[in-house]
Structure 1
Amino acid sequence: MLVFSWSLVTLLLVSSSWAEADVATLEDFSKELPVGQLLERANRDRTPDFDEPTLIGGDIAVKPGADRNADPCTSTGCLWLKNADGNVYIPYYIANHYSSREVAIITRGLESFSSVSCIRFRPYQNGDHEWLSIESKNGCYSFVGRQGGAQTVSLAQRGCLYHSTVQHELLHALGFNHEQTRSDRDSYIKVYWENIQDGMSYNFNIINTLNQGTPYDYNSVMQYEKYAFSKNNRPTMMPIPDPNVSFGQATQMSKNDIDRLNRLYKC
């Protein structure tokens, strides 16, 4: 009986170790998923609270009455203000419901901009009139560009805390839209409208974007992958003229993402 008990304990310990290993493997794999897949998965079946904004494009927050086909950076202006020293200091506040590990992921994403641009995210201070309020709301989302006051960037604890998703939402907050909605999209991407989920076709509408003289970037962290919002497991997007070009696989900002950020803010 004693031998059986020890065997049972051993079996349980081994099974537990396998389960933990499986979870670790899943987490490691998730970190390597393209950003579009992470965002779509996190926002799937999203049920917003009454005070949360409408989302378009999968993760772009819009205010009531906003023109969904307009780029706020070209229609009203959206840049954060530049300091006399040439840097752009953007205050942020991280809600206290995140764990220390989650805060570290968010902070790493914030700090990744300072080494490649003049963007400097700094903690909120008394007297700041506008700032990013980073919170775990329902899903991953951000407004496009500077809105004034407390500006929500939602990074839900369940599904949004990856380096790529943090960078993606911060680029929205800095003024950038998705790559597949660029004004010149149709020269580089063919959209298969018949494969898009019902009610999701507006996610692919072209808008009058500021492209900063940079080429279309299949490797942008703002580019979704070819099955985005598919209703039948068939592609919703394919690159043209070469359908074999890899795209939508980014796990961090590309060189073009960085170049256009520096051009927009004249870094």
Structure 2
Amino acid sequence: CCHSLVSSDEFLGASAIIEKVNADISKGLVHGDIAPTLTKNADPCTATGCKWPKSGSHVTVPVSISSVYSTQERNIIISALLTFHESTCIRFVWRTDQVNYLYFFSGEGCYSYVGRQSRGQGISLQRNGCLFQSTVQHEVLHALGFHHEQVRSDRDQYVKILTENIIPGQESNFEKVLTNNLQTPYDFNSVMQYGRYSFSRNGQPTIVARSNPNLDFGNAFQMSANDIARINRLYECCE
């Protein structure tokens, strides 16, 4: 009798959920769900001011959540944020008067900026579609400075992009970024990995693994061990 409360999207990975929700939005996003800034589109997070500052052994990130969300929806966001506390030195705290903070709101689609921006930095989690642990983790990882797996600088060693199958006009979603890979391997299980049919115009794969062209991926429900390792390395959590 309670099955109506469960969304079928719960059984999709983060990338599939985000692509589905963002398919018809008008906002000019980069790489599918990255909000462009005035000075850059999807530059690598290498600037000094890109990372959230570390104080002592923790990186404190103030957050504020829009009052438009129901208690249940707020709890989904909060639960996803707490997963970072379990395995990294990131600590989300309620914003009081901090100048720089993350603001979760129900905008048009699921999207985030890459790395720390100035003042109130929006993360859009549309009420109808974006509120899943994997999606919240994905967008927060962008805000912490991380890009999608399939655009990392060494991706051509691991995947092949089949441009002939990409929806015309969406090719830029697959452009490589000069990423800092933090000595971690390419990870098909990353919550930042697109699915093999992402932005397909004809139902054929747009991304295939070089090691196994039939490998399925992009279905992560949560951060992988490599996602966690990258946070800990970028923010020097273990030092």
Regarding TM over 0.5, the answer is: yes
Does residue 82 (structure 1) correspond to residue 82 (structure 2)? The answer is no
Which letter maps to 1:144? V
The residue number in structure 2 matching 1:263 is: 233
Give the Å deviation of 1:258.
Answer: 0.3
The residue number in structure 2 matching 1:120 is: 91
Q: State the identity as a percent.
A: 46
- Cα distance between partner residues in 2 of 1:67 and 1:135: 21
- Cα distance between partner residues in 1 of 2:235 and 2:38: 28
The residue number in structure 1 matching 2:142 is: 172
Which letter maps to 1:137? G
Give the Å deviation of 1:77.
Answer: 4.3
Give the Å deviation of 1:247.
Answer: 1.7
- Summarize deviations over 1:78-123 as a string: whole Å, max 9, x none: 1000012x10010000000000000000000111100100000010
Which letter maps to 2:167? Q
Which residue, 27, 37, 40 being the options, matches 1:66?
A: 40
Aligned-residue Cα RMSD (Å) equals 1.4
- Cα distance between partner residues in 1 of 2:182 and 2:213: 26
- Cα distance between partner residues in 1 of 2:183 and 2:217: 20
Which letter maps to 2:220? A
Does residue 43 (structure 1) correspond to residue 17 (structure 2)? The answer is no
Give the Å deviation of 1:129.
Answer: 1.2
CA contact (8 A) 1:155 1:166 kept: yes
Give the Å deviation of 1:24.
Answer: 3.8
The residue number in structure 2 matching 1:200 is: 170
- Cα distance between partner residues in 2 of 1:246 and 1:179: 15
The residue number in structure 1 matching 2:151 is: 181
Change in 2 beyond 3 A, CA 1:210/1:77: farther
- Cα distance between partner residues in 1 of 2:15 and 2:58: 30
Equivalent pairs, count: 237
Give the Å deviation of 1:42.
Answer: 0.8
Secondary structure of residue in 1 paired with 2:84: coil
- Cα distance between partner residues in 1 of 2:215 and 2:204: 17
The residue number in structure 1 matching 2:74 is: 103
Give the Å deviation of 1:44.
Answer: 1.0
CA contact (8 A) 1:74 1:208 kept: no
The residue number in structure 2 matching 1:14 is: none
Which letter maps to 2:21? A
CA contact (8 A) 2:62 2:93 kept: yes
- Cα distance between partner residues in 2 of 1:76 and 1:138: 30
Give the Å deviation of 1:169.
Answer: 0.3
The residue number in structure 1 matching 2:104 is: 134
Which letter maps to 1:257? D
- Cα distance between partner residues in 2 of 1:163 and 1:133: 17
Gaps of 5+ in 1: 1-16, 49-53
- Summarize deviations over 1:159-218 as a string: whole Å, max 9, x none: 100000000000000000000000000000100001111111010001100101000000
- Cα distance between partner residues in 2 of 1:204 and 1:39: 15
Give the Å deviation of 1:32.
Answer: 2.0
Query: 4+ runs of 1 displaced by more than 3 Å?
Result: none
Which letter maps to 2:150? Q
CA contact (8 A) 2:30 2:41 kept: no
Task: Normalising by structure 2, report the TM-score.
Answer: 0.95
More helix by share: 1
Which letter maps to 2:114? V
Which residue, 195, 199, 224 being the options, matches 1:225?
A: 195
Which residue, 63, 67, 91 being the options, matches 2:62?
A: 91
- Cα distance between partner residues in 2 of 1:208 and 1:77: 17
Which letter maps to 2:16? Q
Gaps of 5+ in 2: none
Which letter maps to 1:212? L
Which letter maps to 1:82? K
